[in-house]
Amino acid sequence: MSMIDLRDPSTFPSRRVEAWKYTDLHRVLRETPPPSPAVEIVFGGPFVALGGEEIAFANGRAVGADAFVASGEQTLRLRFVSAATGTGHSASVRIAVKPGARLTLLESHEGAGAGYVANYRIDLDVPAGAEVTRVVMVDEPADAISIAVAHVKTAPGSVYRQTTIASGARLQRQETHLAHGGEATAVTLDGLYALSGARHTDLTSVVRHNGLNGVTSQLTKGVVRDTARGVFQGKIVVERGADGTDARMGHHALILGERAEVDAKPELEIYADDVQCAHGNTIGNLDESALFYMQSRGIPADEARALLTQAFLFEVVDRIAHEGAREVVRSWLTARL
């Protein structure tokens, strides 16, 4: 669970809370939703073809194990399945990784039903010598509310890669808090959103560099159409003494609807001087001259637009280190563009 407790409406933040400035939970949720019923789900999910172990939560209830310890080379499909209408559920899960293990964590937020509220917390420890690739795919109904908060700890000498792909909901937030161990730890924290209708998604991350020579690379890209709203809040903190930190953050969005909205808050908080930190943020429309060029070559305007949008987003997909996951995401995204 996040700081939000579905049983206690006083924990539902409004936009007056700085960290929730662009995602006003209080506006869409004022009271505790009735608890979601128990449901049966089938084994599978979007990553089923990639094999591995499965841990699933159906309407917040663990189907089997509710924790996992990875050793050696493993693939884990972590599924959060919601099949509810107008009800709410919460779940939390802890994933541990043995030193030297290589884990591919394929996480899916699958939604069926309508107007449900889902609230998840994921704890993940990446020890020295371990390598974790986490791919999160969030695919929910347009009127759902979902919040997922991941707390990730990386030890010195580990590798952590994360890519979150979101298509939005009535209100959807994927939050990552990462304690960066420094020394020879490489972190990649990517995000991608493609929104249409009145969907809202919020990708929030806080990366805290505590050790020496930590490296963080962040790239988030998004496309919003119609009256959708994309929110990106990225914060990189370099604590006193975390010298040699190299952190880069990029957020780039395309607004393809006259009434769509993108809000970005890329933040740097730096207390060490021997650092290289940068962030870039661009928001705009498709390049008119590129569109014109493609049309002059005989490609219809709509197709040209789709191609350019796809090329724009695929930069993030191409960075997914796991080939199988990359292909799943690619075809999922292509179907939506």
Q: Which of residues 47-66 bind another protein (CB under 8 A)?
A: none
Q: Please give the full DSSP string across 320-334, using - where no structure is assigned.
A: -S-HHHHHHHHHHHH
**Smallest distance from the beta carbon of 213 to another protein, in angstroms?**
15
As given in the structure block, the two tokens for residue 38 are 């128990």
Whole-angstrom distance, CA of residue 36 vs CA of residue 254: 36
Selected binder of another protein within 128, 270, 308, 337 (CB under 8 A): 270
Selected binder of another protein within 183, 261, 315, 327 (CB under 8 A): 261
Whole-angstrom distance, CA of residue 313 vs CA of residue 336: 12
Selected binder of another protein within 97, 194, 215, 256 (CB under 8 A): 256
Decide: is 277 part of the binding site for another protein (CB under 8 A).
yes
Q: Which is nearer to another protein, 263 or 327 (CB)?
A: 263
**Smallest distance from the beta carbon of 40 to another protein, in angstroms?**
44
**Smallest distance from the beta carbon of 249 to another protein, in angstroms?**
9
Looking at the DSSP bridge assignments, the partners of residue 174 are 148, 203
Q: For residue 231, what are the CA distances in angstroms to 111, 195, 216, 224, 271?
A: 21, 11, 21, 10, 26
Selected binder of another protein within 14, 282, 331, 334 (CB under 8 A): 282
Could you give the 3-state DSSP secondary structure of residue 20?
Answer: helix
Selected binder of another protein within 268, 291, 294, 321 (CB under 8 A): 268
Could you give the 3-state DSSP secondary structure of residue 239?
Answer: coil
Selected binder of another protein within 7, 34, 271, 292 (CB under 8 A): 271
Q: Which is nearer to another protein, 39 or 272 (CB)?
A: 272
Phi, psi of 227 (to 5 degrees): -115, 25
Residues that bind another protein (CB under 8 A): 18, 240-241, 253, 255-285
